[in-house]
Each structure stands twice: as C-alpha cells, then as structure tokens.
C-alpha cells in the first residue's frame, strides 16, 4: 500500500537557519505527494503538493519541496526559518481506491525553533 | 470564510456513552473524510465519502459509524465510546478526484473516561 515515512520525530533549528524535513514514500508509480502544517490546536493547512512535472515545487510561507524518484523522497525545505514556523509538519501520499481517494499521512515531524 | 466546520470542539464522554460529531462544508465539495489524530501516529483515516450517498471504511473504522446526510454534511457516530477512542478528530473535504486539495476542519477534542 502507498505510504510515507517521516524519519525525524522532532527537529530543532535556530531562527534564521535553513530547514530540511525528510519524507520517504513507498509507491510503484508516480505518487501524489503533499506537505501539510499544523499549528498547535489548529487544523491542517496545505503547504504544497506534487503531482507531476517540475520536481521542485514551491509552496506557501516560503517553503519548497523536491521530488526525487531515485531516492523515493519528497523533502521539505526552507532557506531561513522564522519563529512562527514552529509547528507539526505532515507528509502525505494520495491513495486511490475503488470508490474514491484519500490521503495517507506520515507520523509527523515536530519543529522547534530556538532564538 | 467558514470552509469545514466541526462541532463540538471539545467533549468529554463516559465509557459506553454515545455521541455524534457533526461536520459541514460550504465549498460544494463532493468528497468528505473523517480522520483521527493520536500522538506519534499522525492522522489515520476512519471513514470517507467519495460522493453523496456513498461511504467507505478507511484504516481504522471499528467502533465508528458515519452518515453522509447530504452533500454538505458528514457525521461521525460513536455508539459506545471506549477510552481508546480518546483522540482529536478531523473532518475534511475535497472535490472528487485525485488532484484536488483536501481541506481540514479545526478538529474536535474527544476524551473518553
């Protein structure tokens, strides 16, 4: 079954430093991949998505992600982190079934930003 | 902009009680979903409805029932709540089809004691 793995449960970065959050997928064909962010006590907000085409995808809030088929990865990056980026980040893969479509999520990476 | 609205936001239940979580979306979406979120587990799909009149089980459907009342509303029912159902529940919706963004509500915090 299509799935994603986020190897890092927690990551701490200093404000202004660069960020990379890892996501590996398991799927034979080209997957539909997403990154969502969840601020404390809030729902999930879509940062970016990849379906096909250009492997470098730009999203909101200055985030980008690169699809690498050879590494089965879809890592999220940001050149300079702001304190407001502290949140939980989820990678997800689109899964089709006979009747519809849904997302399978990774277990999330919690980002802490230090001054 | 309402988007996806869930009620209640917080609820405490006793073991064995029943309750229904309500969800409504105002984006004219065909597909709706219920997920639960537990620490260290990410979000797991409970049930989904690809379109009005259809519902299907997700990864963790046991102990839950759903009703797609109309195109706007998709409710989740716990018939006999158990402590293992203590969780944060998220309703979501999207246009039907694989390339459409799924939009989430703000969550419902449920505690079963």
pLDDT per residue, tens digit, chain B (113 aa), is: 679 999 999 999 999 999 999 999 999 999 999 999 998 889 999 999 998 889 999 999 999 999 998 999 999 999 999 999 999 999 999 987 777 889 999 999 999 99
Chain A nearest-CA distance from B74, in A, is 15
Per DSSP, what are the bridge partners of residue B94?
A: B31
- The answer to whether B58 touches B50, Cβ cutoff 8 Å, is no
Report the pLDDT value the prediction gives residue B65, as an integer from 0 to 100: 97
Check B106 against A42: CB less than 8 A apart. Answer: yes
**Is the peptide bond prior to A52 cis by the omega test (within 30 degrees of 0)?**
no
Which helix (H) or strand (E) segment is B90 a member of? Answer: strand B87-94
Indicate the residue of B42, B45, B97 with minimum beta-carbon distance to A102. Answer: B45
Check B43 against A97: CB less than 8 A apart. Answer: no
Please give the C-alpha separations between residue A91 and each of A47, A74, B32, B80, B98, in angstroms, as whole numbers. Answer: 10, 8, 20, 32, 16
Where b means 16+ CB within 10 Å and e means fewer, A42-69 reads ebbebbbbbeeeeeebebeeebbbbbee
């Amino acid at each position: 079954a299509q799935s994603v793995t986020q190897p890092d449960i927690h990551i701490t970065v200093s404000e202004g430093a660069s960020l990379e959050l890892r996501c590996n997928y398991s799927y034979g064909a080209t997957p539909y991949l997403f990154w969502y962010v969840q601020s404390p006590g809030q729902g999930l907000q879509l940062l970016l998505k990849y379906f096909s085409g250009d492997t470098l995808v730009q999203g909101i809030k200055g985030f980008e992600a690169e699809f690498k088929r050879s590494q089965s990865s879809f890592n999220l990056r940001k050149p300079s982190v702001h304190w407001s980026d502290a949140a939980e980040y989820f990678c997800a893969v689109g899964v089709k079934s006979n009747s519809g479509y849904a997302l399978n999520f990774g277990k999330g990476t919690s980002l802490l930003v230090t001054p | 902009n309402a988007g996806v609205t869930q009620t209640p936001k917080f609820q405490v239940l006793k073991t064995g009680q029943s309750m229904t979580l309500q969800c409504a979306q105002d984006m004219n979406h065909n597909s709706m979903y219920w997920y639960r979120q537990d620490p260290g587990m990410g979000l797991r799909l409970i049930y989904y409805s690809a379109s009005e009149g259809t519902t299907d089980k997700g990864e963790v459907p046991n102990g839950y029932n759903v009703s797609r009342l109309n195109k706007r509303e998709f409710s989740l029912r716990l018939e006999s709540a158990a402590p293992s159902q203590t969780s944060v529940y998220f309703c979501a919706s999207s246009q039907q089809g694989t390339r459409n963004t799924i939009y989430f509500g703000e969550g419902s915090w449920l505690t079963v004691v």
